Structure 1
Amino acid sequence: MQLAIYILVYPLLWLVSRLPFPILYAISDGVYLFLYYVIGYRKKVVRNNLALVFPEKSKEERLQIEKKFYRHMCDIFLEMIKTLGISTEEMQRRFSYTNIEVLQNLEAEGKNTMIMLPHYASWEWVLSLNTRITSKGYGIYQKIQNKYFDRLVRGIRSKYGTTLIATKESKKLLKAAKERRELMMVGIISDQSPMVQRARHWTKFMGITVPVHVGGEEICKANDFVPVYLKVRKTGRGLYSSTFIVLAENPTKVEDYKITEIFLKHVEESIREAPEYYFWTHKRWKHRNKVPKAFQNP
Protein backbone atom coordinates (compact mmCIF):
# COMPACT_ATOMS: atom_id res chain seq x y z
CA MET A 1 0.00 0.00 0.00
CA GLN A 2 2.81 2.43 0.88
CA LEU A 3 4.48 1.84 -2.48
CA ALA A 4 1.19 2.25 -4.34
CA ILE A 5 0.51 5.62 -2.70
CA TYR A 6 4.04 6.75 -3.47
CA ILE A 7 3.77 5.72 -7.14
CA LEU A 8 0.53 7.67 -7.47
CA VAL A 9 1.73 10.83 -5.71
CA TYR A 10 5.36 11.18 -6.81
CA PRO A 11 4.67 12.11 -10.49
CA LEU A 12 2.39 14.92 -9.30
CA LEU A 13 5.04 16.20 -6.89
CA TRP A 14 7.67 16.09 -9.63
CA LEU A 15 5.39 18.05 -11.98
CA VAL A 16 4.65 20.70 -9.35
CA SER A 17 8.37 21.10 -8.64
CA ARG A 18 8.96 22.10 -12.29
CA LEU A 19 6.30 24.83 -12.35
CA PRO A 20 7.29 28.52 -12.47
CA PHE A 21 6.82 30.35 -9.18
CA PRO A 22 3.79 32.45 -10.32
CA ILE A 23 1.88 29.26 -11.15
CA LEU A 24 3.13 27.58 -7.98
CA TYR A 25 1.69 30.38 -5.86
CA ALA A 26 -1.56 30.39 -7.82
CA ILE A 27 -1.90 26.73 -6.80
CA SER A 28 -1.01 27.69 -3.23
CA ASP A 29 -3.84 30.25 -3.23
CA GLY A 30 -6.26 27.53 -4.32
CA VAL A 31 -4.99 25.12 -1.67
CA TYR A 32 -5.41 27.85 0.95
CA LEU A 33 -9.06 28.45 0.02
CA PHE A 34 -9.81 24.72 0.15
CA LEU A 35 -7.82 24.05 3.34
CA TYR A 36 -9.09 27.05 5.27
CA TYR A 37 -12.67 27.55 4.11
CA VAL A 38 -13.71 24.02 3.08
CA ILE A 39 -11.79 21.58 5.29
CA GLY A 40 -10.90 23.94 8.13
CA TYR A 41 -7.68 21.99 8.72
CA ARG A 42 -6.75 22.20 12.43
CA LYS A 43 -8.51 25.56 12.66
CA LYS A 44 -9.56 24.90 16.25
CA VAL A 45 -5.96 24.16 17.27
CA VAL A 46 -4.70 27.33 15.59
CA ARG A 47 -7.38 29.51 17.19
CA ASN A 48 -6.78 28.04 20.63
CA ASN A 49 -3.02 28.57 20.32
CA LEU A 50 -3.40 32.18 19.20
CA ALA A 51 -5.91 32.97 21.95
CA LEU A 52 -3.59 31.36 24.50
CA VAL A 53 -0.43 33.29 23.62
CA PHE A 54 -1.99 36.55 22.46
CA PRO A 55 -4.77 37.26 25.00
CA GLU A 56 -4.05 40.99 24.63
CA LYS A 57 -5.04 40.95 20.95
CA SER A 58 -8.62 41.32 19.80
CA LYS A 59 -10.50 38.48 18.14
CA GLU A 60 -10.26 40.36 14.83
CA GLU A 61 -6.48 40.77 15.15
CA ARG A 62 -6.02 37.06 15.87
CA LEU A 63 -8.26 36.20 12.92
CA GLN A 64 -6.00 38.21 10.60
CA ILE A 65 -2.93 36.37 11.93
CA GLU A 66 -4.76 33.07 11.44
CA LYS A 67 -5.58 33.73 7.79
CA LYS A 68 -2.07 34.97 7.02
CA PHE A 69 -0.65 31.87 8.68
CA TYR A 70 -2.71 29.49 6.56
CA ARG A 71 -1.59 31.30 3.39
CA HIS A 72 2.03 31.01 4.53
CA MET A 73 1.65 27.35 5.48
CA CYS A 74 0.38 26.55 1.98
CA ASP A 75 3.29 28.49 0.48
CA ILE A 76 5.98 26.63 2.42
CA PHE A 77 4.43 23.26 1.60
CA LEU A 78 4.59 24.08 -2.12
CA GLU A 79 8.09 25.56 -1.67
CA MET A 80 9.29 22.30 -0.11
CA ILE A 81 8.08 20.43 -3.21
CA LYS A 82 9.67 23.09 -5.43
CA THR A 83 13.04 22.20 -3.88
CA LEU A 84 13.06 19.16 -6.18
CA GLY A 85 13.22 21.36 -9.27
CA ILE A 86 14.82 24.63 -8.15
CA SER A 87 18.36 25.50 -9.26
CA THR A 88 21.13 26.31 -6.77
CA GLU A 89 21.38 29.85 -8.15
CA GLU A 90 17.65 30.46 -7.72
CA MET A 91 17.72 29.03 -4.20
CA GLN A 92 20.60 31.29 -3.21
CA ARG A 93 18.69 34.30 -4.52
CA ARG A 94 15.54 33.39 -2.63
CA PHE A 95 17.12 32.35 0.67
CA SER A 96 19.89 34.76 1.64
CA TYR A 97 22.18 35.20 4.66
CA THR A 98 23.05 38.63 6.05
CA ASN A 99 26.15 37.56 7.98
CA ILE A 100 27.48 34.26 6.62
CA GLU A 101 30.89 35.35 7.91
CA VAL A 102 29.78 34.30 11.42
CA LEU A 103 29.84 30.64 10.33
CA GLN A 104 32.91 31.12 8.16
CA ASN A 105 34.87 32.56 11.11
CA LEU A 106 33.85 29.63 13.31
CA GLU A 107 34.97 27.23 10.57
CA ALA A 108 38.31 29.05 10.31
CA GLU A 109 38.76 28.48 14.05
CA GLY A 110 38.05 24.77 13.56
CA LYS A 111 34.82 24.89 15.58
CA ASN A 112 31.80 22.68 14.97
CA THR A 113 28.41 24.37 15.01
CA MET A 114 24.82 23.49 15.84
CA ILE A 115 22.20 25.50 13.94
CA MET A 116 19.10 25.61 16.16
CA LEU A 117 15.86 26.34 14.34
CA PRO A 118 12.16 26.77 15.16
CA HIS A 119 9.18 26.00 12.95
CA TYR A 120 9.23 29.56 11.71
CA ALA A 121 9.23 31.15 8.23
CA SER A 122 11.13 28.60 6.08
CA TRP A 123 13.11 25.85 7.79
CA GLU A 124 13.19 23.57 4.73
CA TRP A 125 15.23 25.97 2.58
CA VAL A 126 17.82 26.40 5.34
CA LEU A 127 19.35 23.18 4.02
CA SER A 128 20.73 25.21 1.09
CA LEU A 129 23.22 26.58 3.62
CA ASN A 130 25.37 23.59 2.73
CA THR A 131 26.31 25.36 -0.52
CA ARG A 132 27.91 28.22 1.47
CA ILE A 133 30.10 26.34 3.94
CA THR A 134 33.05 23.96 3.98
CA SER A 135 31.89 22.00 7.06
CA LYS A 136 30.19 18.64 6.62
CA GLY A 137 26.45 19.37 6.91
CA TYR A 138 24.14 17.13 8.96
CA GLY A 139 20.43 17.50 9.59
CA ILE A 140 18.59 15.76 12.44
CA TYR A 141 15.04 14.78 11.50
CA GLN A 142 12.09 12.57 12.44
CA LYS A 143 11.57 9.56 10.18
CA ILE A 144 8.33 9.29 8.20
CA GLN A 145 6.38 6.03 8.63
CA ASN A 146 5.96 5.53 4.87
CA LYS A 147 9.48 4.43 3.93
CA TYR A 148 9.07 5.59 0.32
CA PHE A 149 8.07 9.11 1.30
CA ASP A 150 10.80 9.06 3.93
CA ARG A 151 13.26 8.32 1.12
CA LEU A 152 11.74 11.17 -0.92
CA VAL A 153 12.03 13.67 1.95
CA ARG A 154 15.60 12.57 2.57
CA GLY A 155 16.31 13.11 -1.12
CA ILE A 156 14.81 16.61 -1.09
CA ARG A 157 16.59 17.65 2.10
CA SER A 158 19.93 16.22 1.00
CA LYS A 159 19.84 17.92 -2.41
CA TYR A 160 22.62 20.31 -1.41
CA GLY A 161 24.81 17.67 0.22
CA THR A 162 23.37 17.58 3.73
CA THR A 163 23.40 14.16 5.41
CA LEU A 164 20.11 13.38 7.18
CA ILE A 165 20.28 11.62 10.56
CA ALA A 166 17.25 10.17 12.34
CA THR A 167 16.74 11.59 15.83
CA LYS A 168 17.30 8.25 17.59
CA GLU A 169 20.65 7.77 15.83
CA SER A 170 21.94 11.33 16.12
CA LYS A 171 24.04 11.21 19.29
CA LYS A 172 25.87 8.03 18.28
CA LEU A 173 26.55 9.12 14.69
CA LEU A 174 27.69 12.63 15.62
CA LYS A 175 30.00 11.23 18.28
CA ALA A 176 31.55 8.96 15.64
CA ALA A 177 31.93 11.91 13.24
CA LYS A 178 33.69 13.90 15.95
CA GLU A 179 36.07 11.01 16.59
CA ARG A 180 36.90 11.13 12.85
CA ARG A 181 37.69 14.82 13.44
CA GLU A 182 35.18 16.01 10.89
CA LEU A 183 34.43 19.72 10.81
CA MET A 184 30.64 19.70 11.19
CA MET A 185 27.60 21.92 11.00
CA VAL A 186 24.47 20.26 12.38
CA GLY A 187 20.92 21.56 11.95
CA ILE A 188 18.11 20.71 14.37
CA ILE A 189 14.53 21.87 14.91
CA SER A 190 14.36 22.64 18.63
CA ASP A 191 10.92 24.06 19.41
CA GLN A 192 8.80 20.89 19.41
CA SER A 193 6.79 19.65 22.36
CA PRO A 194 8.49 16.54 23.82
CA MET A 195 6.68 13.57 25.31
CA VAL A 196 5.74 14.77 28.77
CA GLN A 197 7.04 11.65 30.54
CA ARG A 198 10.47 12.19 28.98
CA ALA A 199 10.68 15.94 29.61
CA ARG A 200 13.76 16.96 31.58
CA HIS A 201 13.15 20.68 31.63
CA TRP A 202 10.15 23.01 31.70
CA THR A 203 10.25 26.75 31.04
CA LYS A 204 8.08 29.62 29.85
CA PHE A 205 7.50 29.85 26.11
CA MET A 206 5.35 32.79 25.01
CA GLY A 207 4.51 33.29 28.69
CA ILE A 208 3.30 29.72 29.31
CA THR A 209 5.25 27.02 31.17
CA VAL A 210 5.73 23.95 28.95
CA PRO A 211 8.17 21.04 28.59
CA VAL A 212 10.96 21.79 26.12
CA HIS A 213 13.34 19.75 24.00
CA VAL A 214 16.91 19.95 25.25
CA GLY A 215 18.49 17.52 22.76
CA GLY A 216 20.18 20.28 20.75
CA GLU A 217 21.79 21.73 23.86
CA GLU A 218 22.89 18.30 25.10
CA ILE A 219 24.59 17.52 21.78
CA CYS A 220 26.35 20.90 21.92
CA LYS A 221 27.67 20.25 25.41
CA ALA A 222 28.68 16.65 24.76
CA ASN A 223 30.57 17.53 21.56
CA ASP A 224 31.56 21.18 22.19
CA PHE A 225 29.45 22.46 19.28
CA VAL A 226 28.86 26.21 19.17
CA PRO A 227 25.05 26.72 19.27
CA VAL A 228 23.79 29.25 16.71
CA TYR A 229 20.26 30.54 16.24
CA LEU A 230 19.27 31.26 12.65
CA LYS A 231 16.75 34.10 12.64
CA VAL A 232 14.74 33.90 9.42
CA ARG A 233 12.57 36.75 8.10
CA LYS A 234 10.12 36.45 5.23
CA THR A 235 10.75 39.47 3.01
CA GLY A 236 8.34 38.54 0.21
CA ARG A 237 6.58 35.56 -1.25
CA GLY A 238 9.25 32.89 -1.65
CA LEU A 239 11.92 35.29 -0.36
CA TYR A 240 13.72 34.91 2.95
CA SER A 241 16.58 36.69 4.69
CA SER A 242 18.36 35.09 7.62
CA THR A 243 20.83 36.14 10.31
CA PHE A 244 23.10 33.99 12.49
CA ILE A 245 23.15 34.66 16.24
CA VAL A 246 25.69 32.80 18.40
CA LEU A 247 23.96 31.59 21.57
CA ALA A 248 27.09 30.61 23.53
CA GLU A 249 30.78 30.87 22.66
CA ASN A 250 31.73 28.08 25.12
CA PRO A 251 28.70 25.79 25.53
CA THR A 252 30.39 23.42 27.97
CA LYS A 253 30.73 26.29 30.46
CA VAL A 254 27.09 27.37 30.32
CA GLU A 255 24.71 26.18 33.05
CA ASP A 256 22.31 23.41 32.08
CA TYR A 257 19.27 24.42 30.01
CA LYS A 258 20.42 28.03 29.66
CA ILE A 259 21.20 27.58 25.94
CA THR A 260 17.71 26.18 25.37
CA GLU A 261 16.12 29.10 27.20
CA ILE A 262 18.15 31.68 25.25
CA PHE A 263 17.13 29.95 22.02
CA LEU A 264 13.44 30.09 22.98
CA LYS A 265 13.72 33.80 23.81
CA HIS A 266 14.95 34.44 20.27
CA VAL A 267 12.10 32.34 18.89
CA GLU A 268 9.63 34.42 20.91
CA GLU A 269 11.10 37.62 19.45
CA SER A 270 10.62 36.26 15.92
CA ILE A 271 7.04 35.24 16.67
CA ARG A 272 6.12 38.61 18.15
CA GLU A 273 7.64 40.43 15.16
CA ALA A 274 5.55 38.48 12.63
CA PRO A 275 3.35 35.82 14.29
CA GLU A 276 1.80 34.64 11.01
CA TYR A 277 5.01 32.78 10.10
CA TYR A 278 5.05 30.44 13.11
CA PHE A 279 3.61 26.93 12.70
CA TRP A 280 0.44 27.29 14.77
CA THR A 281 -1.05 23.90 13.81
CA HIS A 282 1.30 22.18 16.26
CA LYS A 283 -0.11 21.52 19.74
CA ARG A 284 2.89 23.25 21.28
CA TRP A 285 1.20 24.11 24.60
CA LYS A 286 -0.79 20.89 25.12
CA HIS A 287 1.06 19.96 28.34
CA ARG A 288 0.67 23.35 30.05
CA ASN A 289 -1.61 21.85 32.72
CA LYS A 290 0.86 19.11 33.67
CA VAL A 291 3.68 21.25 35.07
CA PRO A 292 5.65 19.37 37.79
CA LYS A 293 5.72 21.11 41.18
CA ALA A 294 9.46 21.76 40.84
CA PHE A 295 8.79 24.02 37.84
CA GLN A 296 5.64 25.76 39.08
CA ASN A 297 5.82 29.41 40.09
CA PRO A 298 6.04 29.90 43.83
Structure 2
Amino acid sequence: MKTFIVHIGILLIKLIGHLPFWAIYFLSDIFYLLVRLIGYRKEVIFRNLRNAFPEKSEKEISEIAKRFYKHLCDLFFETFKVHAISNNEMAKRMKFHNTELLDKFYDEGKDVIIILGHYGNWEWVPFVNGHIKALGTQVYHPLRNKPYDKFLLNIRSKWGTLNFPMKTCFRDMLKLRRAKQHFIIGMIADQSPAKNKIQYYSTFFNQEVPVLLGAEKMAVKTNSPVAFLRVDKVKRGYYEATFELLVERPKECEEFEITKIHTQHLENIIKQKPEYWLWSHDRWKHKK
Protein backbone atom coordinates (compact mmCIF):
# COMPACT_ATOMS: atom_id res chain seq x y z
CA MET A 1 0.00 0.00 0.00
CA LYS A 2 2.83 2.36 0.90
CA THR A 3 4.58 1.73 -2.45
CA PHE A 4 1.32 2.36 -4.29
CA ILE A 5 0.91 5.73 -2.55
CA VAL A 6 4.51 6.67 -3.45
CA HIS A 7 3.90 5.89 -7.12
CA ILE A 8 0.70 7.94 -7.08
CA GLY A 9 2.69 10.79 -5.57
CA ILE A 10 5.33 10.54 -8.31
CA LEU A 11 2.62 10.54 -10.97
CA LEU A 12 1.11 13.68 -9.41
CA ILE A 13 4.52 15.37 -9.43
CA LYS A 14 4.92 14.54 -13.13
CA LEU A 15 1.49 15.98 -13.91
CA ILE A 16 2.28 19.17 -11.97
CA GLY A 17 5.54 19.45 -13.92
CA HIS A 18 3.60 19.82 -17.17
CA LEU A 19 1.69 22.84 -15.90
CA PRO A 20 2.70 26.32 -17.13
CA PHE A 21 4.75 28.43 -14.74
CA TRP A 22 1.84 30.72 -13.83
CA ALA A 23 -0.07 27.64 -12.60
CA ILE A 24 3.03 26.33 -10.80
CA TYR A 25 3.33 29.55 -8.83
CA PHE A 26 -0.41 29.67 -8.15
CA LEU A 27 -0.02 26.27 -6.48
CA SER A 28 3.07 27.56 -4.68
CA ASP A 29 1.08 30.48 -3.24
CA ILE A 30 -1.60 28.11 -1.94
CA PHE A 31 1.04 25.80 -0.53
CA TYR A 32 2.69 28.78 1.18
CA LEU A 33 -0.54 29.56 3.05
CA LEU A 34 -0.80 25.95 4.20
CA VAL A 35 2.85 25.83 5.27
CA ARG A 36 2.46 29.01 7.32
CA LEU A 37 -0.81 27.77 8.80
CA ILE A 38 0.72 24.53 10.10
CA GLY A 39 3.93 26.35 11.08
CA TYR A 40 6.27 24.02 9.19
CA ARG A 41 9.52 23.75 11.20
CA LYS A 42 8.76 27.15 12.67
CA GLU A 43 10.71 26.57 15.87
CA VAL A 44 13.85 25.48 13.98
CA ILE A 45 13.63 28.32 11.44
CA PHE A 46 13.16 31.09 13.99
CA ARG A 47 15.83 29.68 16.31
CA ASN A 48 18.33 29.50 13.45
CA LEU A 49 17.55 33.04 12.32
CA ARG A 50 17.73 34.52 15.82
CA ASN A 51 21.10 32.85 16.49
CA ALA A 52 22.50 33.81 13.09
CA PHE A 53 21.35 37.45 13.29
CA PRO A 54 21.34 38.48 16.98
CA GLU A 55 21.50 42.13 15.92
CA LYS A 56 18.14 41.96 14.09
CA SER A 57 14.80 42.79 15.69
CA GLU A 58 12.01 40.25 16.00
CA LYS A 59 10.15 42.09 13.24
CA GLU A 60 13.14 41.73 10.89
CA ILE A 61 13.49 38.04 11.77
CA SER A 62 9.79 37.47 11.02
CA GLU A 63 10.11 39.23 7.67
CA ILE A 64 13.08 37.05 6.67
CA ALA A 65 11.15 33.94 7.74
CA LYS A 66 8.16 35.02 5.66
CA ARG A 67 10.29 35.52 2.54
CA PHE A 68 12.06 32.21 3.21
CA TYR A 69 8.76 30.32 3.35
CA LYS A 70 7.74 31.85 0.01
CA HIS A 71 11.04 30.88 -1.59
CA LEU A 72 10.91 27.37 -0.13
CA CYS A 73 7.49 26.77 -1.67
CA ASP A 74 8.66 28.10 -5.03
CA LEU A 75 11.70 25.84 -4.87
CA PHE A 76 9.47 22.86 -4.10
CA PHE A 77 7.39 23.33 -7.26
CA GLU A 78 10.32 24.43 -9.43
CA THR A 79 11.89 21.03 -8.72
CA PHE A 80 8.74 19.35 -10.03
CA LYS A 81 9.00 21.45 -13.18
CA VAL A 82 12.41 20.00 -14.12
CA HIS A 83 10.72 16.81 -15.30
CA ALA A 84 8.94 18.52 -18.19
CA ILE A 85 10.70 21.85 -18.83
CA SER A 86 12.28 22.34 -22.26
CA ASN A 87 15.90 23.33 -22.80
CA ASN A 88 14.82 26.62 -24.41
CA GLU A 89 12.64 27.54 -21.43
CA MET A 90 15.35 26.60 -18.96
CA ALA A 91 17.91 28.66 -20.88
CA LYS A 92 15.73 31.74 -20.28
CA ARG A 93 15.44 31.05 -16.56
CA MET A 94 18.86 29.68 -15.56
CA LYS A 95 21.91 31.71 -16.61
CA PHE A 96 25.52 30.71 -15.94
CA HIS A 97 28.38 33.19 -15.59
CA ASN A 98 32.18 32.79 -15.63
CA THR A 99 32.05 29.31 -17.19
CA GLU A 100 35.28 30.28 -18.96
CA LEU A 101 36.99 29.65 -15.61
CA LEU A 102 36.06 25.96 -15.87
CA ASP A 103 36.95 25.80 -19.56
CA LYS A 104 40.39 27.22 -18.74
CA PHE A 105 41.08 24.39 -16.30
CA TYR A 106 39.66 21.88 -18.79
CA ASP A 107 42.16 23.08 -21.39
CA GLU A 108 44.91 22.64 -18.78
CA GLY A 109 43.79 19.04 -18.17
CA LYS A 110 42.42 19.76 -14.69
CA ASP A 111 39.18 18.66 -13.05
CA VAL A 112 37.40 21.09 -10.71
CA ILE A 113 35.69 20.61 -7.34
CA ILE A 114 32.57 22.79 -7.19
CA ILE A 115 31.20 23.77 -3.76
CA LEU A 116 27.53 24.66 -3.41
CA GLY A 117 25.25 25.55 -0.54
CA HIS A 118 21.52 25.04 -0.11
CA TYR A 119 21.06 28.52 -1.51
CA GLY A 120 18.96 29.76 -4.41
CA ASN A 121 17.92 26.81 -6.55
CA TRP A 122 20.44 23.97 -6.51
CA GLU A 123 18.10 21.57 -8.34
CA TRP A 124 18.43 23.57 -11.58
CA VAL A 125 22.24 23.57 -11.48
CA PRO A 126 22.69 20.35 -13.56
CA PHE A 127 21.59 22.44 -16.56
CA VAL A 128 25.22 23.60 -16.61
CA ASN A 129 25.95 20.63 -18.86
CA GLY A 130 26.03 22.02 -22.36
CA HIS A 131 27.51 25.30 -21.09
CA ILE A 132 30.98 23.92 -20.28
CA LYS A 133 33.56 21.68 -21.95
CA ALA A 134 33.91 19.28 -19.00
CA LEU A 135 31.41 16.64 -17.94
CA GLY A 136 29.14 17.75 -15.10
CA THR A 137 28.90 15.37 -12.14
CA GLN A 138 27.58 15.70 -8.59
CA VAL A 139 27.55 13.90 -5.26
CA TYR A 140 24.24 12.93 -3.68
CA HIS A 141 22.80 11.13 -0.67
CA PRO A 142 20.61 8.17 -1.76
CA LEU A 143 17.12 8.27 -0.27
CA ARG A 144 15.69 5.34 1.65
CA ASN A 145 12.53 5.54 -0.44
CA LYS A 146 13.74 3.74 -3.56
CA PRO A 147 11.00 4.78 -6.06
CA TYR A 148 11.32 8.45 -5.10
CA ASP A 149 15.13 8.18 -5.10
CA LYS A 150 15.02 6.81 -8.65
CA PHE A 151 12.65 9.58 -9.77
CA LEU A 152 14.83 12.30 -8.23
CA LEU A 153 17.93 10.81 -9.88
CA ASN A 154 16.17 10.91 -13.24
CA ILE A 155 15.45 14.61 -12.70
CA ARG A 156 19.04 15.33 -11.71
CA SER A 157 20.36 13.37 -14.70
CA LYS A 158 18.13 15.09 -17.25
CA TRP A 159 20.91 17.16 -18.83
CA GLY A 160 23.54 14.44 -18.76
CA THR A 161 24.87 14.97 -15.25
CA LEU A 162 26.39 11.90 -13.59
CA ASN A 163 25.29 11.36 -9.98
CA PHE A 164 27.69 9.69 -7.56
CA PRO A 165 26.57 8.32 -4.16
CA MET A 166 28.62 9.88 -1.37
CA LYS A 167 30.04 6.50 -0.32
CA THR A 168 31.56 5.80 -3.74
CA CYS A 169 32.14 9.30 -5.14
CA PHE A 170 35.94 9.24 -4.83
CA ARG A 171 36.14 5.84 -6.51
CA ASP A 172 33.79 7.02 -9.29
CA MET A 173 35.89 10.15 -9.71
CA LEU A 174 39.07 8.07 -10.17
CA LYS A 175 37.32 5.94 -12.82
CA LEU A 176 36.65 9.08 -14.86
CA ARG A 177 40.28 10.14 -14.46
CA ARG A 178 41.55 6.77 -15.68
CA ALA A 179 39.24 7.12 -18.69
CA LYS A 180 40.80 10.59 -19.29
CA GLN A 181 37.36 12.19 -18.96
CA HIS A 182 37.71 15.70 -17.54
CA PHE A 183 34.87 16.75 -15.27
CA ILE A 184 33.58 19.09 -12.62
CA ILE A 185 32.05 17.56 -9.50
CA GLY A 186 29.46 19.48 -7.50
CA MET A 187 29.31 18.96 -3.74
CA ILE A 188 26.79 20.58 -1.40
CA ALA A 189 28.93 21.29 1.63
CA ASP A 190 26.53 22.86 4.17
CA GLN A 191 24.94 19.62 5.34
CA SER A 192 25.43 18.19 8.82
CA PRO A 193 27.70 15.15 9.02
CA ALA A 194 26.45 12.19 11.02
CA LYS A 195 27.33 12.63 14.70
CA ASN A 196 29.75 9.67 14.70
CA LYS A 197 31.55 11.05 11.62
CA ILE A 198 32.26 14.58 12.83
CA GLN A 199 35.94 15.43 12.35
CA TYR A 200 36.04 19.20 12.36
CA TYR A 201 34.10 22.21 13.64
CA SER A 202 34.13 25.64 12.04
CA THR A 203 32.43 28.93 12.86
CA PHE A 204 29.30 29.60 10.83
CA PHE A 205 27.02 32.50 11.74
CA ASN A 206 28.50 33.07 15.20
CA GLN A 207 28.24 29.40 16.17
CA GLU A 208 30.50 26.38 16.09
CA VAL A 209 29.19 23.86 13.60
CA PRO A 210 30.49 20.50 12.29
CA VAL A 211 31.50 20.70 8.63
CA LEU A 212 31.84 17.99 5.99
CA LEU A 213 35.46 17.56 4.90
CA GLY A 214 34.81 15.54 1.74
CA ALA A 215 35.37 18.43 -0.66
CA GLU A 216 38.66 19.44 0.94
CA LYS A 217 39.98 15.89 1.13
CA MET A 218 39.08 15.21 -2.49
CA ALA A 219 40.64 18.48 -3.64
CA VAL A 220 43.90 17.88 -1.75
CA LYS A 221 44.26 14.25 -2.86
CA THR A 222 43.80 15.15 -6.53
CA ASN A 223 45.16 18.72 -6.33
CA SER A 224 42.05 19.87 -8.18
CA PRO A 225 41.10 23.57 -8.13
CA VAL A 226 38.14 24.46 -5.92
CA ALA A 227 35.42 26.86 -7.07
CA PHE A 228 32.18 28.01 -5.50
CA LEU A 229 28.92 28.13 -7.44
CA ARG A 230 26.79 31.00 -6.26
CA VAL A 231 23.13 30.74 -7.33
CA ASP A 232 21.30 34.06 -7.03
CA LYS A 233 17.54 34.47 -7.41
CA VAL A 234 16.97 37.38 -9.78
CA LYS A 235 13.19 37.20 -9.53
CA ARG A 236 10.57 34.51 -9.22
CA GLY A 237 11.53 31.63 -11.50
CA TYR A 238 14.77 33.22 -12.72
CA TYR A 239 18.27 32.48 -11.41
CA GLU A 240 21.86 33.41 -12.23
CA ALA A 241 24.71 31.08 -11.24
CA THR A 242 28.28 32.36 -11.05
CA PHE A 243 31.46 30.29 -10.70
CA GLU A 244 33.95 31.86 -8.29
CA LEU A 245 37.47 30.50 -7.82
CA LEU A 246 38.36 29.78 -4.17
CA VAL A 247 41.58 27.77 -4.31
CA GLU A 248 43.71 26.97 -7.35
CA ARG A 249 46.38 24.75 -5.75
CA PRO A 250 44.86 22.83 -2.80
CA LYS A 251 48.05 20.96 -1.89
CA GLU A 252 49.60 24.28 -0.89
CA CYS A 253 46.85 24.91 1.68
CA GLU A 254 47.04 24.12 5.36
CA GLU A 255 44.72 21.51 6.84
CA PHE A 256 41.10 22.75 7.09
CA GLU A 257 41.99 25.97 5.23
CA ILE A 258 39.82 25.11 2.22
CA THR A 259 36.90 24.21 4.48
CA LYS A 260 37.22 27.51 6.34
CA ILE A 261 37.32 29.42 3.05
CA HIS A 262 34.20 27.91 1.51
CA THR A 263 32.26 28.04 4.81
CA GLN A 264 33.00 31.76 5.22
CA HIS A 265 32.26 32.39 1.55
CA LEU A 266 28.80 30.86 1.87
CA GLU A 267 28.08 32.87 5.02
CA ASN A 268 28.97 36.12 3.23
CA ILE A 269 26.59 35.26 0.40
CA ILE A 270 23.73 34.33 2.74
CA LYS A 271 24.07 37.60 4.66
CA GLN A 272 23.23 39.55 1.50
CA LYS A 273 19.86 37.82 0.96
CA PRO A 274 19.26 35.40 3.83
CA GLU A 275 15.79 34.31 2.71
CA TYR A 276 17.28 32.11 -0.04
CA TRP A 277 19.15 29.73 2.29
CA LEU A 278 17.60 26.58 3.77
CA TRP A 279 16.85 27.76 7.32
CA SER A 280 14.50 24.83 7.94
CA HIS A 281 17.53 22.53 8.07
CA ASP A 282 18.71 22.09 11.67
CA ARG A 283 22.29 22.95 10.75
CA TRP A 284 23.45 23.49 14.35
CA LYS A 285 21.94 20.36 15.91
CA HIS A 286 25.31 18.84 16.81
CA LYS A 287 27.11 20.87 19.45
CA LYS A 288 30.84 20.63 20.07
Looking at structure 1, the residues matched to 13 and 199 of structure 2 have their Cα atoms a distance apart, in angstroms, of 39
The alpha-carbon deviation at position 179 of structure 1 amounts to 2.2
- Alignment partner, residue 259 of structure 1: 258
- Alignment partner, residue 112 of structure 1: 111
**Matches for 1:194-233 after TM superposition, within 5 Å:** 194-233=193-232
Cα deviation digits, residues 167-211 of structure 1 (max 9, x gap): 111111112222222201101100111123311111101121111
- Alignment partner, residue 65 of structure 1: 64
Any stretches of 5+ residues in structure 1 without a counterpart?
292-298
- Alignment partner, residue 35 of structure 2: 35
Looking at structure 2, the residues matched to 281 and 196 of structure 1 have their Cα atoms a distance apart, in angstroms, of 19
Kept after mapping to 2: 8 A contact 1:175/1:223: no
For 2:142, give the aligned amino acid.
Answer: K
Looking at structure 2, the residues matched to 283 and 207 of structure 1 have their Cα atoms a distance apart, in angstroms, of 15
Kept after mapping to 2: 8 A contact 1:115/1:230: yes
Looking at structure 1, the residues matched to 155 and 39 of structure 2 have their Cα atoms a distance apart, in angstroms, of 28
The normalised TM-score by structure 1 is: 0.94
Kept after mapping to 1: 8 A contact 2:103/2:134: no
**Matches for 1:9-28 after TM superposition, within 5 Å:** 9-28=9-28
Secondary structure of 2:122's match?
A: coil
Looking at structure 2, the residues matched to 35 and 125 of structure 1 have their Cα atoms a distance apart, in angstroms, of 23
Coordinate RMSD, CA, aligned: 1.1
- Alignment partner, residue 144 of structure 1: 143
Looking at structure 1, the residues matched to 2 and 211 of structure 2 have their Cα atoms a distance apart, in angstroms, of 33
- Number of residue pairs aligned between Structure 1 and Structure 2: 288
**Matches for 1:183-202 after TM superposition, within 5 Å:** 183-202=182-201
- Alignment partner, residue 79 of structure 1: 78
Looking at structure 1, the residues matched to 239 and 216 of structure 2 have their Cα atoms a distance apart, in angstroms, of 26
**More divergent stretch after superposition (57-66 vs 5-14):** 5-14
Kept after mapping to 2: 8 A contact 1:2/1:148: no
Any stretches of 5+ residues in structure 2 without a counterpart?
none
Could you list the runs of 4 or more consecutive aligned residues of structure 1 that deviate by over 4 angstroms after TM superposition? none
For 1:179, give the aligned amino acid.
Answer: R
Kept after mapping to 1: 8 A contact 2:7/2:147: no
Change (3 A) 1:2 1:184: farther
The normalised TM-score by structure 2 is: 0.97
- Alignment partner, residue 295 of structure 1: none
Calculate percent identity across the aligned residue pairs.
38
Looking at structure 1, the residues matched to 222 and 31 of structure 2 have their Cα atoms a distance apart, in angstroms, of 43
